[in-house]
Amino acid sequence: MNKIEAQKLLDDAELLTSAEEVKRAVARMAQEIAAELKGEFPVVLAVMGGAAVFTGHLLPLLNFPLEFGAIEVTRYGNTTQGREITWRLAPKDNVKGRIVLVVDDILDEGITLSAIHDKLKEMGAKKVYSAVFADKDLGRKKPIAAEFVGITVPNRYVFGFGMDAYGLWRNLPAIYMLKD
């Protein structure tokens, strides 16, 4: 995709959540997470690359000590269809016996987040929480639910605030939907 096509993708998209609404959702989530993890010393793992933007906004709002790291696991690559899970950066062994908070951009079908939880539990994590900025309403049960959710989005392909469309537009401060 070239620059003109990328711009057309955004121009044709529908605004779902404004930048101001995004900020309010992140602030609310930070309060909820702080209330739940008060007194803990968790390992916070950002799922790269989608969670980079969300994590960058969330971490400064968390008012407790934490250890930060990243993992990278994907089912999408630069496509809009999920495939087999690929681990690019596995969790470190510092999760053993610890509370872990996994931060991700979107809970879509739940397959990736479920695999992350399974891996962390296998590695000895004491408890695993999930914070996702967006939870997609698929109209059916998922294999996992996030404890902390910023917004619920319809069953459409969404992008912005860390989520991409064909590898593009993660840098947007608002959330958009692709045309049907």
**What string of H, E and C letters represents the secondary structure of the chain?**
CCHHHHHHHHHHCEEEECHHHHHHHHHHHHHHHHHHHCCCCCEEEEEECCHHHHHHHHHHHCCCCCEEEEEEEECCCCCCCCCCCEEEECCCHHHCCCEEEEEEEEECCCHHHHHHHHHHHHCCCCEEEEEEEEEECCCCCCCCCCCEEEEEECCCCEEECCECECCECCCCCCEEECCC
Q: Which two tokens stand for residue 76?
A: 């999408």
End-to-end Cα spacing for the chain: 19
Distance separating alpha carbons of residues 23 and 56, to the nearest angstrom: 12
Kindly name the residue from 11, 93, 105, 108 that is annotated as catalytic. 108
Is 108 considered catalytic here? Answer: yes
Contact between residue 118 and residue 71 where contact means Cβ atoms under 8 Å apart: no
Active site residues: 108
